[in-house]
C-alpha cells in the first residue's frame, strides 16, 4: 500500500483495468494519473468546479487525455451532466460538500450515474479533526440521504488523519427515513 495520501486512496479504490471511474473535485489531476496508469480499456471522467484546476489536470494528464482514457469537465457536481454514463466507482478526495452540511444534491447525481453494483469512495481529512470525527461527518452525510455505509477506513498519512467511507446508493424507492444499517 502506498504511504502518501493520494496513493493510498488509489490503492483503496483499486481500479480494475476495464472500470469506468468518476472523480469529483480532481484538483490538479494527480489521482487521475494514478488511476489511468492502472487502466487498460477503462476510463476516468473527472470533474472540478474550478476551470483553473481542470486546465492543470488536463496538462498533467495530456497523455491519458490523448489516449481517450481520461476526460475532464469544469462543473459543480450537483449540476453536472453525465448524460447516460454509468460508473463502476466514484470517488472524491478532500471535497468539502461531502464533509460539511448536507450533500443531498451531489449524492443524487452520483446515485443516478453509479452502476447497480457501484460504490462511492469518500476520502477526507482536516487538520484540526481526528479521523474518527471526519469519518462521522462523512457517514452522516451519506446515511442522511439513505445511502448504506459498507466500510470505514482510517489512516495517518503525510501528517494527516485520513478517513475513507465506502458507500452504496439507496435502492430505487428508498427514502432518507428508512432505518440505517
Residues at the contact surface with ligand SAM, assessed by CB under 6 A = 24-27, 47-50, 53, 76-77, 93-97
Nearer to ligand SAM, 95 or 166 (CB): 95
The residues, any chain, with a CB within 8 Å of residue 78's CB and separated by 6 or more, are: 97, 105, 106, 108, 109
Residue 91 and residue 26 in contact, taking contact as beta carbons nearer than 8 Å = no
Distance CA 55, CA 50 (A): 9
Question: Least Å distance between CB 76 and ligand SAM?
Answer: 4
Nearer to ligand SAM, 27 or 141 (CB): 27
Q: How many helices (H) and strands (E) does the chain have?
A: 6, 7
Distance CA 50, CA 57 (A): 11
Question: Least Å distance between CB 112 and ligand SAM?
Answer: 15
Question: Least Å distance between CB 166 and ligand SAM?
Answer: 17
Nearer to ligand SAM, 6 or 65 (CB): 6
DSSP state for residue 1 in the 8-state scheme: -
Question: Least Å distance between CB 16 and ligand SAM?
Answer: 21
Nearer to ligand SAM, 39 or 53 (CB): 53
Q: Tell me how far apart the terminal alpha carbons of the chain are, to the nearest angstrom.
A: 29
Question: Least Å distance between CB 91 and ligand SAM?
Answer: 9
Q: What is the dihedral of CA 33, 39, 165, 116, to 10 degrees?
A: 140
Nearer to ligand SAM, 2 or 178 (CB): 2
Amino acid at each position: 500500500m502506498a504511504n502518501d495520501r493520494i496513493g493510498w486512496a488509489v490503492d483503496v479504490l483499486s481500479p480494475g483495468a476495464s472500470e469506468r471511474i468518476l472523480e469529483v473535485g480532481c484538483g490538479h489531476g494527480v489521482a487521475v494519473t494514478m488511476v489511468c496508469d492502472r487502466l487498460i480499456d477503462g476510463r476516468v471522467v473527472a470533474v472540478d468546479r474550478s476551470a483553473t484546476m481542470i486546465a492543470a489536470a488536463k496538462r498533467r494528464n495530456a497523455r491519458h487525455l490523448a489516449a481517450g482514457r481520461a476526460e475532464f469537465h469544469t462543473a459543480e457536481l450537483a449540476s453536472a451532466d453525465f448524460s447516460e454514463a454509468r460508473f463502476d466507482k466514484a470517488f472524491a478526495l478532500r471535497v468539502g460538500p461531502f464533509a460539511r452540511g448536507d450533500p443531498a444534491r451531489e449524492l443524487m447525481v452520483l446515485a443516478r450515474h453509479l452502476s447497480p453494483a457501484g460504490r462511492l469512495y469518500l476520502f477526507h481529512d482536516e487538520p484540526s479533526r481526528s479521523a474518527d470525527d471526519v469519518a462521522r461527518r462523512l457517514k452522516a452525510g451519506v446515511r442522511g440521504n439513505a445511502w448504506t455505509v459498507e466500510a470505514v477506513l482510517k489512516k495517518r498519512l503525510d501528517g494527516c488523519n485520513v478517513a475513507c467511507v465506502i458507500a452504496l446508493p439507496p435502492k430505487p424507492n428508498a427514502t432518507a427515513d428508512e432505518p440505517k444499517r
